[in-house]
Amino acid sequence: MSRRDLTDLPGAGDQRDPVEEFFARERADVRDLQAGFEHWEGIVREARRPSRRSWLPYAAVAAVAAVVAAGTWAGLAHRPGDGTTPATASSQGSVQTVSRTVTTAPTTSPWTSSQPSSATTPAPAVSTATGPLPVAQSFGLVSLTNAGGKVLYALGSATCPGGTPCTQVVTSRDDGRTWVALSTFTTLTTAGAGSTPTGAHQLVGIRFSGPDVGYVFGSTTLRTLDGGRSWQPVDVDRRVVLSLETDGDRVWMATARACTPGTPPGAGCSDLQARTGRAGDTATTAVQADGTPTSALAAWIAMDGHDAYLNTSLSDPASPQAARPGPLVRLSGPSGAVAPVAGCDSGMWASGSAAAHGTLVGLCPTKGKPQDEWSVVVSTDRGMTWTTTPAPGLGRPTAPGTWLTGTDAQHLVAVTGGAPSSVDGPPSPTALLASSDGGRTWTDTGPGRGGAPVWAGAAGGSLVYAVEGGLAYWQSTDAGQHFTQVPMRR
């Protein structure tokens, strides 16, 4: 029965029963609720709040409460999802939140060559909230992306009911002031911030090309067109996606056939391949770029406007536990390896400057003393010519390497020990350093909470984010000179 006044029913006339009217309206408002991680947390949260309702002036109030409660708890019984857009249940004076499992878990490993294309492989189980829910207390931040228009998305580890590990996507619509849970991938896990996907069913990152279109990636890669409310598999030719970046129009990926943890020479990612596709499409194609190494300890994409570059981390023959930069490979336009730079002992790692398109900043081991010193490399003409500046303040080029980002050619932020790697072992000590003179001098700008981030990224203007994990991230609005902690709670 649709919700309407009973006087509209045939033959109702003057024989209206106020009590029956009340029950009819309440029955019309009851919705089936599917069991889910976010819904359970919402029930627990609401149960802990003091009641705000006054007693109804009816003797029938107890019966009404029983009807509503029965509808709610009955909805927690399992029902197969119908694949439609999750519904929102609401009633006057209150909002109910509904979660629904919309897909089924894959039954084969992504490492087997006989696995069908990921475009036809069932997506992992996803529990999607249609109303505001808090970020899980167990949330551990792994990856952060700015979608523009004050919209942020984050991927993190979580603990699902029963104590099983899972991953969760959360969002902020007010530039990080408040956060709510969005989707939970109940069959996917993560190794943590800055990790390489070396196991099945792992996620390592999240990127959005705008407020609605985005991706989560790793040994499974999924796409959303509705701001993270539903997810579909992306065809990456059964590959592991190590990194994904976008300019808003296209997505660019660093992929491998498989990644193996351990120690060199056994550790690393094999059969490296860059891939690209239109933002929002489920299809991707391989990018043929001369100079791409066949294998690496890790690989990642850097964007400079519409230009895409591939960075690789290679095992250092002089120190197998350490990493050295591979050749920087341009993927867009005239693709191929960037020519060696004077002053660098080997290749380099580079990224675009968020506030100065056409400007690339990077690092390389200093020529003549590659085990002892980094040099900062800068190009202001899209990689045609480069300058090098020794940077002894960054310490020695030890494992796994130093991560660098910049808002322009002068304002740089580095995370020592923060380069991604598939090598096993204890995490390398990290420090968050900033330079305002092109890398000649460096200052420790970490807030000093007993830890340090493993990744930092310039997000446009003078805005820089840093990720450590847990229920917070760090943010700088002055190009990395000072950072403040931002909690990810409502």
Mean pLDDT for the stretch of residues 134-141: 91
- In terms of average pLDDT, the best of 44-53, 92-101, 256-265 is 256-265
- Among the candidates 59, 80, 101, a domain finishes at 80
Could you tell me the sign of the dihedral formed by the alpha carbons of 331, 406, 327, 424, in that order? negative
- Strands 307-316 and 298-304, how do they pair? antiparallel
Beta strands in 283-332 (DSSP E): 285-287, 295-296, 298-304, 307-316, 319-325, 329-330
Provide the sign of the torsion angle of the four alpha carbons 424, 427, 432, 437, taken in this order. Answer: negative
Q: Fill in the amino acid letter for 421.
A: S
> What pLDDT is stored for residue 97 in this prediction?
27
**Contact call for residues 128 and 185 (beta carbons, < 8 A):** no
Q: Residue 95 above 80 pLDDT?
A: no
In-domain check, residue 471: yes
Q: How far apart are CA 165 and CA 190, in angstroms?
A: 9
User: pLDDT value at position 100?
Assistant: 31
Q: Is the pLDDT of residue 48 over 80?
A: no
Residue 375 lies in a domain: yes
CB 74 within 8 A of CB 35: no
pLDDT at 424 (0 to 100)? 66
Domain membership flag for residue 189: no
Higher pLDDT, 200 or 39: 200
- pTM, 2 dp: 0.76
> Is residue 448 one of the residues assigned to a domain?
yes
Give residue for tokens 């006057």: 92
Confidence of residue 23 (pLDDT cuts 50, 70, 90): low
Q: What pLDDT was estimated at residue 39? A: 43
Give per-residue pLDDT as tens, 156-199.
Answer: 999 998 899 999 999 999 999 999 999 999 999 998 888 889 88
Higher-confidence residue: 252 or 57? 252
Distant-in-sequence, close-in-space partners of 14: CB < 8 Å, separation ≥ 6: none
Tell me whether the omega of the peptide bond preceding residue 487 falls within 30 degrees of 0, making it cis: no
Which CATH number goes with the domain that contains 473? 2.130.10.10
| pLDDT value of residue 88 | 30
pLDDT at res. 438: 96
In a domain, 101, yes or no: no
Domain stops at, among 49, 80, 111: 80
- Residue 388 above 70 pLDDT? yes
Range of the domain at 62: 6-80
Which residues, in sequence order, are bridge partners of residue 375? Answer: 364, 390
Model pLDDT for residues 433-476, shown as the tens digit of each residue:
999 999 999 999 876 555 678 899 999 899 999 998 889 999 99
Q: What is the pLDDT of residue 483?
A: 92
Q: Which of 19, 49, 80 is the last residue of a domain?
A: 80
pLDDT recorded at residue 76:
19
d(CA 465, CA 486): 10
Task: Of 246, 290, 292, 251, give the one whose Cα is nearest residue 269.
Answer: 292
**What is the tally of structural domains in the chain?**
2
- CA-CA distance, 406 to 422, in Å (whole number)? 25
Residue 392 lies in a domain: yes
What is the band of 81 on the pLDDT scale with cuts at 50, 70, 90? very low
Structure tokens at 293: 């190494």
Kindly state whether residue 150 falls inside one of the protein's structural domains.
no
pLDDT, position 490: 74
Q: pLDDT band at residue 82, thresholds of 50, 70 and 90?
A: very low
Is a pLDDT exceeding 50 seen at residue 369? yes
For range 214-219, the mean pLDDT: 97
CA angle 297, 300, 301 (to 5 degrees): 160
More confident residue, 275 or 76: 275
Residue 340 lies in a domain: yes
Comparing CA positions, the residue from 123, 100, 170, 113 lying closest to residue 142 is: 170
Q: What percent of the chain has pLDDT over 90?
A: 57
Under DSSP, is residue 38 helix (H, G, I), strand (E, B) or coil? helix
Q: Is the pLDDT of residue 85 over 90?
A: no
Per-residue confidence band for 427, with pLDDT thresholds at 50, 70 and 90: low
Nearest alpha carbon to residue 21 among 40, 41, 39, 7: 7
Residue 479: φ, ψ to 5°: 65, 30
pLDDT higher than 80, residue 265: no
What rounded mean pLDDT belongs to the chain?
A: 77
Taking residues 242-262, what's their average pLDDT? 95
Q: What is the pLDDT of residue 94?
A: 27
Q: How far is CA 214 from CA 233, 247, 268, 301, in A?
A: 12, 12, 27, 16
Let me know if 4 is exposed, middle or buried by CB neighbors in 10 A (0-12, 13-18, 19+).
exposed
